[in-house]
Amino acid sequence: MLLITILVIASIMPTPSQGMELNAESVRHAQSDEHDPWRLGNQALYDLCRKYPKHVDDAEIIAKVWLIGRTYAASLERGKGDAVGADVSNDRFYTDHVTRVLRASVLDSMLTALQKPGNVENPATIDLVLRAHSYVVRLFFELTGKKKRSLASKYLHFHLPHLFFIYDSRAMGAIRRLKLPRQLIQSPPDADREYATFLGAALGARKHLAATFGESLTPRQLDRLLLATFASMYPGAPVHSTNTIE
């Protein structure tokens, strides 16, 4: 099934072009909210998670998981299969199962630990970031039987936007094409390997851009730069934030 999926994606993607050249202008463009047509929608999600950061109230849990997933075309219920029962409706999936799993989780304590002052480049913070991400991937796997590493990164990003880099296959493809120096990081044994690889590449890219152009990009700004890079690699391919390829 995985091979078939890869072949289908490869068959519909345009042939990659040389891609854009990184320069001061492209970095400044990534830093500017003015050019981002998705900024208001994303801000609504940041505000939602800032106002309701916990996973105690069912309505708050549903709102966050539902809206972030749907906004990024990565809805949790998509392809849920038999993990919670094939006969479970989408409504009951959220009201009966998503709420139960997240309420019973220790996600709030993990997010609280990450709210302490710290830099994402700090080894201790990297360890906590990777543990939190792999934990959410496991929670989502319990609900769907699928590794939702992309949705997990986005869900966590909206809770702690300065710590969690946004992962999907477009961002990973772009960062590989740029061939920037990676930061070597120590991963905990239970880390999601794909996201850990991406995190090391993202941290290395950010450090390189800061040294080269004197500008340190936030995770959101780096995401803009990677999406613009992907767009230049695959002209005509869907690249905005609401078209997600896990």
Say how many domains are in the chain: 1
Residue 241 within a domain: no
Residue 245 within a domain: no
Query: Which whole number is the average pLDDT over 1-23?
Result: 46
Residue 206 Cα distances to 146, 163, 184, 228, angstroms: 30, 13, 13, 15
Q: Residue 202 in contact with residue 175, Cβ under 8 Å?
A: yes
Using the predicted structure, report yes or no on whether residue 235 has a pLDDT greater than 80: no
Residue 243 within a domain: no
Instruction: Kindly indicate the confidence band of residue 241, based on its pLDDT and cuts at 50, 70 and 90.
Output: low
In single-letter form, the type of residue at position 138 comes to R
Residue 55 within a domain: yes
Burial 59-75 (b: 16+ CB within 10 A, else e): ebbbbbbbbbbebbbbb
Residue 36 Cα distances to 198, 209, 230, 241, angstroms: 23, 20, 16, 10
- 92-140 pLDDT, tens digit per residue, is 999 999 999 999 999 999 999 998 767 888 999 999 999 999 999 999 9
Residue 13 within a domain: no
Residue 4 within a domain: no
Query: Which whole number is the average pLDDT over 166-171?
Result: 94
The pLDDT score that the predictor gives to residue 3 is 37
Instruction: Count CB atoms within 10 A of the CB of residue 119.
Output: 10
Using the predicted structure, report yes or no on whether residue 22 has a pLDDT greater than 50: yes
Residue 14 within a domain: no
Q: Residue 171 in contact with residue 111, Cβ under 8 Å?
A: no
Using the predicted structure, report yes or no on whether residue 176 has a pLDDT greater than 70: yes
Give the residue, 198 or 176, on which the prediction is more confident. 198
CA distance 63 to 245: 22
Residue 5 within a domain: no
183 class by beta-carbon count within 10 Å (0-12 exposed, 13-18 middle, 19+ buried): middle
Residue 103 Cα distances to 47, 87, 108, angstroms: 21, 23, 9
Instruction: Return the closest-CA partner of residue 191 out of 152, 217, 220.
Output: 152
Instruction: Count CB atoms within 10 A of the CB of residue 201.
Output: 24
Q: Which domain holds residue 139?
A: 38-233
Instruction: Kindly indicate the confidence band of residue 221, based on its pLDDT and cuts at 50, 70 and 90.
Output: very high
